Amino acid sequence: MTTTTLITVAPTGAESSKADVPALPVTLDELVITAQECRAVGASVIHVHLRDAQAQPSLDLGLLREAVAALRAETDLVVQLSTGGAVTDPEADRLRVLGAEPDMASCTMGTVNFGDDVFLNRWEFVVELHARMQEREIVPEYEIFDLGHLTALQKLLDRYGPPAGGHVHVDLVMGVPGGMPGTTEALVACKQALRDLPSDTTFSATGVGRSTLPVLLASLSAGGHLRVGMEDTLTYAKGQPVESNAQLVARAAGFARLAQRPPTTPDEARAMLGIKAV
């Protein structure tokens, strides 16, 4: 029985520009303030994409190390770095992210069309990410953009063993143009496929764009956890731009409380996800 709701905030992503979305956190100061605000209203994990001095997506290892240190110093959130980066990032740069030694890192379980682009995740690359995370004791969050990615995850765990910490946590990224739709039916199909994974596997879900609320409600009702943030959603309601990431986290936390599953604290999140003490 799931008694609390893990809320992950994904505040920035790699797709929106600061010019188009002024509220997007792109500097380290903005990221830390965002993290503190989101923690205060119910987030326990932060999924981080960085920007450089020109506000362009960056996988620079020095910037990543600085961000991990600042987030650890200024918050008690679980720090999860994206190894997905932007669709243009080479595999070597994406693997190098692990050198920043976050608590968690994302590991996307397969290739998916991504609007007009392709988010490429070759099987050999996925295996490499999984193995390097095992070595470094970084807990993965397996990103699932389509139903078949769960089959790939089953194969990965069967062939290469459990992740660092031993617990399997997946995030259903729904509603990407090219991936699975952000619908209750798709979420239920994924939940059924999770039965082929270890019995204590947990999942969160995020709905991109207008699928945010249907996915949030479906995940809560199915015993899942939540990811929200400006990486995935820029409109709070029809014609109303998102003002801040904390606005999205607060809404998610409100729904979680209504569902009698209040937000998970970061300490509870560490215990649940199998994250080692730093």
Binding residues for ligand KMH (CB under 6 A): 13-14, 82-84, 86-87, 106, 108, 114, 119, 143
In terms of phi and psi (left: phi > 0; alpha: psi -120 to 50; beta: otherwise), the region of 61 is: alpha
Q: Does 264 bind Zn ion (CB under 5 A)?
A: no
Minimum CB distance to ligand KMH, residue 150 (Å) = 16
Q: Which residues contact 192 (CB under 8 A, 6 or more apart)?
A: none
Nearest residue (CB) to ligand KMH, 4 versus 202 = 202
* Residue 266 touches which of ligand KMH, Zn ion, none (Cβ within 5-8 Å per kind): none
Interface residue with Zn ion among 82, 211, 233, 264 (CB under 5 A) is 82
CB 165 within 8 A of CB 137: yes
Nearest residue (CB) to ligand KMH, 14 versus 269 = 14
Strands (DSSP E) found in the chain? 7-9, 45-48, 50-51, 57-58, 78-81, 104-108, 112-114, 117-119, 139-144, 169-174, 202-207, 225-228, 235-237, 240-241
Nearest residue (CB) to ligand KMH, 95 versus 259 = 95
* Residue 180 touches which of ligand KMH, Zn ion, none (Cβ within 5-8 Å per kind): none
Minimum CB distance to ligand KMH, residue 180 (Å) = 14
Residue (of 154, 109, 105) closest to 134 by Cα position: 105
Residue nearest to Zn ion (CB): 82
Minimum CB distance to Zn ion, residue 227 (Å) = 9
Minimum CB distance to ligand KMH, residue 83 (Å) = 6
Nearest residue (CB) to ligand KMH, 75 versus 106 = 106
Q: Where are the alpha helices (DSSP H) in 106-229?
A: 123-136, 148-160, 184-193, 212-221
Minimum CB distance to ligand KMH, residue 117 (Å) = 8
Whole-angstrom distance, CA of residue 268 vs CA of residue 77:
11
Minimum CB distance to Zn ion, residue 88 (Å) = 14
* Residue 80 touches which of ligand KMH, Zn ion, none (Cβ within 5-8 Å per kind): none
Nearest residue (CB) to Zn ion, 10 versus 153 = 10
Q: Which residues contact 10 (CB under 8 A, 6 or more apart)?
A: 46, 47, 49, 206, 227, 228, 229, 230, 231, 232
* Residue 142 touches which of ligand KMH, Zn ion, none (Cβ within 5-8 Å per kind): none
